[in-house]
Amino acid sequence: MAHPTLLVTGASGHLGRRVLDLLAGSHPGRLLATTRSPGKLADLAARGVELRASSFDDDVAAQAAAFAGADHVLIISTDAIGQRAEQHRRAIAAAKQAGVRHIVYTSVTRADDVTSPLLVTPEHRTTEEALAQSGVAHTLLRNNWYTDYLLPPLAQALSSGSLVAAGGQGGAAYVTRDDCARAAAAALAQGGSSSRTLEISGPAVVTYAELAAIVSELTGRTIPYVPVTADQLTRGMIGAGLPPAIAELLVSFHVAVDRGTLALATSAVADLTGRPPTSVRDFLVANRAALTTPPAAAH
């Protein structure tokens, strides 16, 4: 049986590029990638990846042409909050029109929970519903919060002397972007004629108090966790110069932690890839230099 032709959207992004790195070294069949900027991926082209210029803003017919020949497509959710549900809908319609047999989509933890305080959840839920209605077999990868996103706030905590957060006593099953990429690469290669939903997480739920303890251990400094309310954190972020919409988006993550929305650790990464996911502590050990870089210099 011939190996399926795989296509990765958003190939210039952090996650898409990592998925392609993994597949370029392991997938024996054709490997396609769509991106707005093919010129930025010359190294992948040199490794046999077929690059196609395409954008989530293109109409269905144009995206269908870009998806032509693909058996399995990975739709990586865009960062255009407020517009991406429609972007994703067009991409799903294009994949169906192009005859794609399986779609993999990167969603968010418990996307079907209508009570989730995460402000990113509604668009993911809308996309999941569009996939269900499409009739195309699909895999939903509901990624927990990236461990990678902890580096700036933890570096800030080291700079200020305390970890200020509005997560209460709750926790999240933080998962590294690299583990999400490995899971996505495996799911894309597997495909399948049926649909499934996988909650992608790290190995354990970690609280803010535990994060503060890990940072204290790794740096030899005592960094306490200082819990505040969501309103206090929002005001603090806006006062520090963040646009209100961005502050509210970030604080919704803290509220989700407080309410237990992200406290969901599963075996999905190991089940898909054969390797356990990286713990928060191991990730911070590996990225100690970034952790101890002053926030202003880290951007």
Predicted confidence at residue 297, as pLDDT, reads 41
| 233 in any annotated domain | yes
The answer on 158 and 191 residing in a single domain is no
| 55 in any annotated domain | yes
| 297 in any annotated domain | no
Give the model confidence (pLDDT) of 115-130 as tens digits.
999 999 999 999 999 9
Q: Dihedral, CA atoms, 124, 128, 134, 140, nearest 10 degrees?
A: 110
The answer on 251 and 282 residing in a single domain is yes
For the chain, give percent helix, strand, coil, nearest 5.
Answer: 50, 15, 35
Distance CA 244, CA 281 (A): 31
The answer on 98 and 223 residing in a single domain is no
| 110 in any annotated domain | yes
Range of the domain at 22: 6-143+177-199
Note the pTM of the prediction, 2 decimals.
0.95
Closest CA to 104 of 67, 77, 81, 82: 77
CA angle centred on 295, ends 204 and 256, rounded to 5°: 35
Structural domain count, the chain: 2
| 43 in any annotated domain | yes
Distance CA 140, CA 196 (A): 6
CATH number assigned to the domain comprising residue 70: 3.40.50.720
| 113 in any annotated domain | yes
Give the model confidence (pLDDT) of 196-243 as tens digits.
999 999 999 999 999 999 999 999 999 999 999 999 999 999 999 999
| 54 in any annotated domain | yes
The answer on 138 and 41 residing in a single domain is yes
The answer on 163 and 86 residing in a single domain is no
The answer on 286 and 208 residing in a single domain is yes
Predicted confidence at residue 81, as pLDDT, reads 86
Closest CA to 127 of 53, 63, 197: 197
The answer on 186 and 38 residing in a single domain is yes
CATH number assigned to the domain comprising residue 259: 3.90.25.10
CA angle centred on 293, ends 287 and 297, rounded to 5°: 125
The answer on 90 and 59 residing in a single domain is yes
Q: What is the mean pLDDT of each run of 10 residues along the chain (299 residues)?
A: 92 96 94 94 94 96 98 95 94 98 98 97 98 98 98 95 98 99 98 97 99 96 98 96 95 98 99 98 96 58
Eight-class DSSP state of 43: H
The answer on 153 and 82 residing in a single domain is no
The answer on 119 and 50 residing in a single domain is yes
The answer on 159 and 188 residing in a single domain is no
The answer on 158 and 284 residing in a single domain is yes
| 1 in any annotated domain | no
Distance CA 163, CA 165 (A): 6
